Structure 1
Amino acid sequence: MNPAQTDPLALYVHWPFCVSKCPYCDFNSHVRESVDQAAWRDALLADLAYEAAALPRRRLGSIFFGGGTPSLMPPETVAAVIDAATGHWPAEADIEITLEANPSSVEAARFADIARAGVNRVSLGLQALDDRALHFLGRAHDVAEGLAALDTAQRAFARVSFDLIYARPGQSLGDWHGELARALSFGTEHLSLYQLTVEQGTRFATEEREGRLTLPDPDYAADLFELTRETTARAGLPAYEVSNHARLGAESRHNLVYWRYRDYAGVGPGAHGRRGGLATARHKKPENWIGAVARNGHGAQIEDALPPADRATEALLMGLRLREGVDLGRIAAIGETTVDALIDWNAAQRLEGQGLLVRDGDHLTVTDAGMLLLDAILPLVVLG
C-alpha cells in the first residue's frame, strides 16, 4: 500500500445554500426560496457512496461540513451523512467532525440536535464584535445574537472555533486590539482571523471599482497582521497557519490534511478533492450537481490525474502556509524529482538572509516575518 494511503482520510461535504449572500463572499453559496431536503439528502449520500467506492480500505480521520451555511441543514441530514461516512470507512477513535454555522438564534436552536447527530466541533461565523462592522459586512446577526449563539455552541460542542474579519475600512489598531482581546476572553480553543480582501465577482469588488470602498493600505494592514499574531501568541493561541490560531493540540485536524497535502474526498456542489494523485471537482451550480447525481449516481465533473510536478508544487504552496514548514524530501518524492528541482535556492538564500525563511537540511520554514509577505515569497522560491 502507498504510504500516503495509511494516513487518515478527510471528508469535505459542501452545503451550498445561504439565507443571503454576504458582500465579501466568493464561496460557492446560493440563495434559494426552497430546498427539497429529502432529495438533497439522498443526493449527498449517493455522491458519498461513489467517493467511498473510489477510496477503499481507508480510515476516516475527519469530516467537515462547509458552505454555504451548513447549519441550515436538517440535523437528520447531518446524522445521515455521518452515519453513511463512518459506514463506508472505519472512523478513527478521535474523529473530528466539524460544522460551519452562522450565529443566528434560529440556527443556534439546532445546535443540540446537531451535536446529537455526531458533530463534535463547530466553526462559528461571528466575523466581527461590532454592530456597525457587522452591518458593513452584510451579516444578519448583531453582536448580542452572535455572542448568545457562541454561548450555546460552547455548551453543545466539545470544541468551538469562530471567525473574525479585520483590516476593515476605518478600523484602528486600538479598535482591533480591543476586539481581539474580547474575542480571546471567551476561552475558545481556536480562532480563524482573516484580513478583509476583495474577491472578484463580489459586491465589494463592484464597490471598490466604483470608488465606494477603500481598504487599508498594505503597510497598515501589515501592522494589523503583526498585532494579531503578537496578541494571540501572548494569549496561548499562536498562529499555526497564516490565518489560524489555536491552543496546542486544538488545531483543525481536517484543515491540516489540506495543508499537509494528504488525501481528502469532496462531495456536494463545487467540492474539490485529492484522491491518490487525482484532482476531483464536483459540478458547482446546485441544480447542475443534483442533476448529475440523478443521471450518473454522482456529482463529479472532473477526475484528472495530476502530473507529479504539479502535485509537488501544490504541496509546497500549501505546506509553506504552516508554521511547521515543509519536508522537502517528502515533497520531492511526491513530485518524483529532487529537492533542488523544487526550490530556487538563490532566492531562498536571499530571503533567509533577510530573516524571512529558515532552511534546516531538507526542512524549509517561513518565519513569522515572512508570513506577512507570503504571497510575494511563494512565487520567488517555488519552482514550476
Structure 2
Amino acid sequence: MPEDWEAGGFGIYLHWPFCQAKCPYCDFNSHVARSVDEPRWRAAFLSEIDRHAAETPGRVVKSIFFGGGTPSLMDPETVAAILDRIRLRWPQANDLEVTLEANPGSVESGRFRAYFDAGVSRVSMGMQAMNDRDLQRLGRIHTVKEAMDAFDIAKSVFQRVSFDLIYARQDQSVADWRAELSQALDLAVDHLSLYQLTIEDGTAFGDRYRLGKLRGLPDEDAAAAMYDATQELTAAAGYHAYEVSNHCRPGAESRHNSLYWRYGDYVGIGPGAHGRLTLDGQRQATEAIRMPNAWLEAADVGNGDKGRTPLSREDQATEFLLMGLRLADGIDLTRYENLAQHPLNPDAVDHLQDMGMIETSGQRLWTTDRGRLLLNTVIATLLE
C-alpha cells in the first residue's frame, strides 16, 4: 500500500540565506553578508544532500526549489554542483521542475544562461511593485526599469518565468491596483504570485506598525476589494487561481509549491530550512539550524539539522487540511480520514456549505471564492 506522502510526491528545497539588503516586510531567514566563502558553502550543501539521500534511497525527485534569501546571488558553479549531486543521488521525474528565485537587481544575462545550462528550468522573480515610489517603500533595491530589463533577460533564457507582486500597499487604491495588475498581466509569461501585504512581527514594518508609523495601509474593505479585483482580472486574462495567491495559465502551476499544498514529502537543506520526511512509516517535521554560520559549521561536521519532530496522525491531518484547502481543487476526504482516523465533523461541513463557504462532490471538498477569502475561519470551523 502506498504511503501517504506519495499522493503529493517528493521534492527538495535548498535555502540560500544571503541578500544584498533586508526588506522591511520580510520575515524569511535572510541575512546581509559582506562576503561569502562560496566553496565552503557548496561543500556543505553537497554533504547535506548526501546525508538526506542515504535516508531516502530510490525516491523520485519531482521538483527542486532554490529559495532564500536571494539564490540568484549564488555562483552558477554552486547551482550546477548541487544539481549534479542530486542527479547522482536520486532518480528524477521526466518532467522535473527546477525553480530558482531571483531578485531583479541580481540578474545578469550570462549568469542566467549558466543557471539554465546547469539544469534550472523555471525562474520566480521578486518584482513586488511596478512603480519606483512603492519599490522604495518596500525596501527594494531595484527600479522598475531594472525589473523590466531583468524580466526580459529571464524570458529570453527560460520558457517558464513567474513573478511576484504585493498589493494592499501604503496609499494604494483599488484603481491603482487594477491598473498595475493589468500591466502585469500584459507582461506575464505563464504564472503570477499575488500576495496581500501582511505585517509580520519581528520585521521593520512590524515595528513601525506597532508605533503607529506605517500609515496609509488600506482598510479591510479596500483590501477585500483588491482581492476581488485580483480574481476578476486574472480570470479574464486566462489565469486560473489554482491557489489562494497563485494564478497561472493551464498547466503552468508551480510543481514545487503544489507538492507542499498536496502534502508530499520534501527535504529541506540550508539555514532554517524546514522539511517533511516519512521514514520507516513515521512522518517527521525537520528543521535546519537557523543562523548561517552555525548551520555551516554543523554541516561541515556532518549534520545541519536543529531537530526532528515526529508528527501524530492528527497533526498530519491538520497540516493536510491547512495546506490542501489553499488549493482551488481542495482536499480528498478519504485521505483526511486515513490520516486523522475519523471523518470531518459533518455538522461543521453542513454549516459551511449552508454559508456558501465550501462545496463537496464525492470525496472532494473545496472552498468557494467566498470561503477562500475567509480561509482561516473555514479551517477553524472544520477543526473544531
Q: Provide TM-score, normalisation by structure 2.
A: 0.96
In structure 2, what is the equivalent of residue 73 of structure 1?
A: 74
In structure 1, what is the equivalent of residue 319 of structure 2?
A: 314
In structure 1, what is the equivalent of residue 200 of structure 2?
A: 199
Q: How does 1:217-228 map to 2 (within 5 A)?
A: 217-228=219-230
- Which residue identity is paired with 1:75? P
Q: How does 1:120-139 map to 2 (within 5 A)?
A: 120-139=121-140
Q: How does 1:115-264 map to 2 (within 5 A)?
A: 115-214=116-215, 215-264=217-266
Say whether the 8 Å CA contact 1:240–1:246 is kept in structure 2. yes
- Which residue identity is paired with 2:221? D
In structure 1, what is the equivalent of residue 342 of structure 2?
A: 338
| 1:108, distance to aligned residue in structure 2 (A) | 5.1
- Which residue identity is paired with 1:241? E
Residues 1:155 and 1:64: Cα distance change in structure 2 (over 3 Å): same
- C-alpha separation between the residues in 1 aligned to 2:293 and 2:223? 39
Say whether the 8 Å CA contact 2:268–2:287 is kept in structure 1. yes
Q: Does 1:33 align with 2:38?
A: no
In structure 1, what is the equivalent of residue 2 of structure 2?
A: 2
- C-alpha separation between the residues in 2 aligned to 1:86 and 1:9? 14
Say whether the 8 Å CA contact 1:17–1:69 is kept in structure 2. yes
| 1:359, distance to aligned residue in structure 2 (A) | 2.0
| 1:334, distance to aligned residue in structure 2 (A) | 2.4
Of 54-63 and 373-382, the range deviating more from structure 2: 373-382
Could you give the per-residue CA deviations for residues 287-318 of structure 1, whole angstroms, max 9, x where no partner exists? 111111123x1211112211111011100110
Say whether the 8 Å CA contact 1:332–1:338 is kept in structure 2. yes
Say whether the 8 Å CA contact 2:162–2:188 is kept in structure 1. no
Q: Does 1:300 align with 2:301?
A: no
Of 119-128 and 371-380, the range deviating more from structure 2: 371-380
In structure 1, what is the equivalent of residue 329 of structure 2?
A: 324
- Which residue identity is paired with 2:64? I
- C-alpha separation between the residues in 2 aligned to 1:279 and 1:5? 13
SS at match of 1:289: helix
Say whether the 8 Å CA contact 2:6–2:264 is kept in structure 1. no
Say whether the 8 Å CA contact 2:73–2:106 is kept in structure 1. no
Q: How does 1:27-66 map to 2 (within 5 A)?
A: 27-66=28-67
- C-alpha separation between the residues in 2 aligned to 1:108 and 1:355? 49
SS at match of 1:185: helix
- C-alpha separation between the residues in 2 aligned to 1:190 and 1:313? 28
- C-alpha separation between the residues in 2 aligned to 1:225 and 1:349? 26
SS at match of 1:200: coil
Across the aligned residues of Structure 1 and Structure 2, the Cα RMSD in angstroms comes to 1.4
- C-alpha separation between the residues in 2 aligned to 1:323 and 1:281? 29
Could you give the per-residue CA deviations for residues 330-381 of structure 1, whole angstroms, max 9, x where no partner exists? 122123x021xxx333233222112111122332110011111112221111
| 1:188, distance to aligned residue in structure 2 (A) | 1.2
Say whether the 8 Å CA contact 2:331–2:364 is kept in structure 1. yes
Residues 1:319 and 1:344: Cα distance change in structure 2 (over 3 Å): same
- In the alignment of these two chains, the number of paired residues is 378
- Which residue identity is paired with 1:328? L
Say whether the 8 Å CA contact 1:10–1:62 is kept in structure 2. yes
- Which residue identity is paired with 2:329? E
| 1:87, distance to aligned residue in structure 2 (A) | 1.0
In structure 2, what is the equivalent of residue 267 of structure 1?
A: 269
- Which residue identity is paired with 2:284? L
In structure 1, what is the equivalent of residue 20 of structure 2?
A: 19
| 1:139, distance to aligned residue in structure 2 (A) | 0.3
In structure 2, what is the equivalent of residue 286 of structure 1?
A: 292
- C-alpha separation between the residues in 1 aligned to 2:276 and 2:196? 27
Could you give the per-residue CA deviations for residues 88-114 of structure 1, whole angstroms, max 9, x where no partner exists? 111111110000000116545521111
SS at match of 2:104: coil
SS at match of 1:24: coil
Structure 1: tracts of 5 or more residues without a match: none
- Which residue identity is paired with 1:304? T
| 1:53, distance to aligned residue in structure 2 (A) | 1.0
Identity of aligned residues (%): 51
Say whether the 8 Å CA contact 1:20–1:31 is kept in structure 2. yes
In structure 2, what is the equivalent of residue 89 of structure 1?
A: 90
Say whether the 8 Å CA contact 2:173–2:222 is kept in structure 1. no
Q: Provide TM-score, normalisation by structure 1.
A: 0.96
- C-alpha separation between the residues in 1 aligned to 2:114 and 2:107? 13
- C-alpha separation between the residues in 1 aligned to 2:171 and 2:308? 45
| 1:190, distance to aligned residue in structure 2 (A) | 0.3
SS at match of 2:272: coil
- Which residue identity is paired with 1:329? T
Say whether the 8 Å CA contact 1:4–1:263 is kept in structure 2. no
Structure 2: tracts of 5 or more residues without a match: none
- Which residue identity is paired with 2:83? I
SS at match of 1:28: coil
